[in-house]
Each structure stands twice: as C-alpha cells, then as structure tokens.
C-alpha cells in the first residue's frame, strides 16, 4: 500500500482534469493572441475567457478581475511587488506576518532592499495573528497589508473578513492582499465577502495541474507589471498564457464537492483520534478548535524524536509525509512558522505534517497509524532525548 499524505505541498491531478486539458494540446493549440489573425486563435480566446469566467464565479469576482499566472508564487510576487511599486508615491510601509509563505516573505525582502519598510505582526501559539496589533501598526504611509488566509503548515484559518474590516476602517486606501492558495476549494472563500483587494490562487493544491494559478485584482487597483514581454492578461504580465493549465484549473474548481471536503475532514479527525489513542507524548500544532483549521491539515509533534527520522522510516513503508513545510524541509533549521508561534526547537524538529485529499481512504489511515506507532516506539528507544 502506498499512502500519499503531503497534499498541502501538491495534489494528484484528477483524471477528469487531464481529460479536459487533452484537446488543448491536440486540437485547440493556437495562441489566443492570434484572435485577429485566424479562426483557431479566436476559438482559443473563447476557451480562455470561458475558463476565466468559471474561476471568477467560483471566487466571487468579475472575470476582468482575474489574472492568470504561472502559480501561487508568481501571483504573490505580482500582488506584493506590483502593488508596492505602483503605489510608492503614497508610502513605503508594508505590514505582514512572520508565518507567510516563502514567496511572500522573499518578495517583501526584495522590497526592503529598495527602501520599503516591512513590519510583522505577532501570531499566537496556534498561529492566529494579533488583530489589535494590526490596527496599531497602520500608519499614514502604510500602502499594503499581506496576510495569508490559511497557513499550509499548521492549518490556521485567519479571520480575513474581520481583519479587512478593521484595516479599512482605520485607513480605507490601504491595499489588502491575501495568499489564499491553500484556502480556495477547501473553505468558503469569496473575495466580495472578504473585502480584499488582491488574492492569490493556485491549481495544484486542488487536484489541478502545476504551473498555473491566478491573481484576483480588484477593479481600479493599480499594479506595476513585473514580467515584461507582451500584453497578456490585461497587460499585467508578459508571456504566452498556459491555456491547457488554465482549462485544467477551471475544471478542478468545477469538480470541487462539499461532500469530498467533509470526507477529508472526517479522515483527518479519525487520524488525529487514532494517533492520540495509539501514541503518547504528542503535541498538536495549530488550532485546537478544528472549526478554525484547514479540513485536510494535521500537524503533530512527537516528543523525543526527530521529524526527519520519522519521515525517512515512513517512506520506507511507502507512507509519504513531511517534516515542517515543503519550502524549507531540506534544511536542518527548525520551521520558521512553528518557531514564530513560540514553540521550542525540539517541538519544531519533532513535527510531522499530515495533509489529506479525496484520494485517501480510512484504510490508508489505519495502515499509517499502525506503522507510525511502530516507528515512534523504535525511535524513542534509540533517542538520547528522553522518553520511556
């Protein structure tokens, strides 16, 4: 049995998504920019715009507010750098959190080198931002606030609607960006209800293809283009649109079913209960209130053992998970997300993220826990850190 439990990093592409993409490779392969030259280009343009409308409808936006990108990383870069550079005459102060994705944090560091001032708000032990601190940090020269909707390592769901309301009440012209790459399709998310100005999406975390995503840009919000080379996507990015990927993205959204989400949530809860029953000395990382946690996410720290060792031994038994987040798991340093939440180095190093999808099963969960129990027991016997 092979058990893939790293779906927060990426998911299996649904066969129905692949089927929707195949005609774009074989038949409708013209460029949509050729619409004024020949019929094939016009057909592809219609396919592109139909997909844009589907994505827009799913997130509660207008089609003209959806910009297709190469994925969440590009969307975050365009949102943060594009907004900062286009509005630098209004100020250079930006607010974010220390638990954002690497693409957000690295974009902010790039801006810092250009003279922008970046301030981070605190998060508590469960990963929730201090909303009162956000209010206090808003200044006259604040131009952008970027706060993720869901953290993909510990599953914390931020109250973006409340955060947005507080920010806009204090300074209405501040732009608000949210990285929602691990939210859309998993939790209720409509930009019109959240009140954000910019929101990043990706396809590969909802059983769509890799290499495609989108950015919601609220009407009349100014962004500076960061990829030159043509006039694609309302002149906000250069390059050839990934039409097969865009079609696959739209199809993946179309296939999302609330029953599947509920099934995944039940499997996640079952996994947690089984671990509690079978394995002592564990620490739940992220929200204890599971209604405020991503339905597919479970992050557990196992005392007295190293997460890297657990991952290695699980891999030998064809169980695939990860220690920390995918962006820094190759390093030996502890997770910056877990450390920012105030946990110890030992807790961070002992953490394992289990992230599920609709392609998992309860049988796989039973197998995982039985193997995990054996692995933890054996490692603790060898561990110099303590334990029974």
pLDDT of 388: 52
What pLDDT score was predicted for residue 211? 97
Q: How far apart are CA 246 and CA 52, in angstroms?
A: 8
Q: Starting at the edge strand that comes first in sequence, how are the strands of the sheet with 297-302 ordered? A: 282-285, 297-302, 351-355
Q: How far apart are CA 342 and CA 215, in angstroms?
A: 32
Share of the chain above pLDDT 90, in %: 88
CB of 257 within 8 A of CB of 38? no
Residues near 99 by Cβ (< 8 Å), separated by ≥ 6? 123, 127, 148, 151, 153, 156, 336, 337, 340, 341
> How many CB atoms neighbour CB 64 within 10 A?
11
pLDDT computed for residue 325 by the predictor: 41
Q: What is the pLDDT of residue 385?
A: 64
Q: What is the pLDDT of residues 9-45, one digit of tens each?
A: 999 999 999 999 999 999 999 988 765 778 999 999 9
Contact between 8 and 296 (Cβ < 8 Å):
yes
CA distances from 229 to 113, 240, 280 (A): 25, 9, 57
**pLDDT value at residue 327:** 46
289 is catalytic: no
- 148-195 per-position pLDDT tens digit: 999 999 999 999 999 999 999 999 999 999 999 999 999 999 999 999
Each residue's pLDDT tens digit, 189-241: 999 999 999 999 999 999 999 999 999 999 999 999 999 887 788 888 988 99
Instruction: Calculate the average pLDDT of the chain.
Output: 94
Among candidate residues 327, 352, 356, 379, the one labeled active-site is 327
Confidence of residue 120 (pLDDT cuts 50, 70, 90): very high
User: pLDDT, tens digit, for every residue of 317-330?
Assistant: 999 999 864 444 45
d(CA 103, CA 121): 18
Nearest Cα residue to 10 out of 146, 141, 205: 205
Rounded to 10 degrees, what is the CA torsion of 183, 185, 188, 191? Answer: 70
**Three-state DSSP state, 347:** helix
Measured CA distances, 40 to 30, 205, 286, 295 (Å): 6, 31, 50, 42
pLDDT at 84 over 50: yes
What does the pLDDT read at residue 357? Answer: 98
> What is residue 334's predicted lDDT score, i.e. its pLDDT?
86
Report the SS3 class of residue 199.
strand
CA distance 163 to 17: 35
Pairing verdict, β 351-355 and 198-202: unpaired
CB–CB of 152/200 below 8 Å?
A: no
How far is 213 from 181, CA to CA, in rounded Å? 9
How many whole angstroms separate alpha carbon 98 and alpha carbon 92?
19
């Amino acid at each position: 049995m092979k058990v893939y439990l790293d779906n927060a990093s990426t998911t299996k592409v649904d066969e129905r998504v692949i089927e929707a993409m195949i005609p774009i490779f074989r038949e409708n392969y013209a460029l949509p920019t050729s619409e004024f030259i020949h019929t094939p280009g016009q057909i592809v343009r219609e396919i592109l715009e139909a997909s844009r409308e589907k994505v827009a409808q799913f997130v509660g936006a207008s089609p003209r507010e959806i910009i297709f990108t190469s994925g969440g990383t590009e969307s975050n870069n365009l949102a943060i750098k594009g907004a900062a550079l286009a509005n630098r005459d209004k100020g250079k102060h930006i607010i974010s959190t220390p638990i954002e994705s690497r693409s957000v944090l690295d974009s902010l560091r790039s801006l810092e080198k250009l003279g922008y001032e970046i301030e981070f708000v605190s998060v508590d032990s469960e990963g929730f931002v201090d909303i009162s601190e956000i209010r206090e940090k808003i200044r006259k020269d604040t131009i952008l606030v970027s706060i993720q909707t869901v953290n993909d390592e510990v599953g914390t769901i931020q109250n973006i609607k409340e955060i947005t309301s507080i920010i806009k009440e204090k300074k209405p012209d501040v732009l608000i960006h949210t990285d929602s790459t691990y939210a859309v399709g998993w939790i209720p998310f409509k930009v019109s209800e959240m009140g954000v100005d910019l929101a990043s999406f990706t396809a590969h975390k909802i059983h769509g293809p890799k290499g495609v995503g989108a950015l919601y840009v609220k009407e009349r919000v100014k962004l500076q283009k960061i990829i030159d080379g043509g006039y694609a996507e309302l002149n906000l990015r250069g390059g050839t649109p990934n039409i097969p990927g865009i079609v696959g993205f739209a199809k993946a959204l179309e296939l999302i079913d609330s029953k599947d989400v509920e099934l995944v949530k039940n499997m996640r809860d079952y996994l947690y209960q089984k671990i509690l029953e079978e394995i002592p000395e564990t620490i739940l990382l992220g929200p204890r209130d599971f209604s405020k946690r991503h339905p597919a996410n479970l992050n557990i720290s196992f005392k007295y053992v190293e997460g890297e060792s657990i991952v290695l031994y699980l891999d030998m038994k064809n169980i695939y998970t990860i220690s920390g987040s995918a962006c820094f798991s190759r390093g030996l340093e502890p997770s910056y997300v877990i450390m920012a939440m105030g946990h110890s180095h030992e807790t961070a190093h002992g953490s394992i993220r289990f992230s599920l999808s609709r392609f998992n099963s309860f049988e796989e969960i039973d197998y995982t826990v039985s193997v995990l129990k054996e692995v933890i027991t054996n490692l603790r016997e060898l561990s110099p850190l303590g334990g029974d």
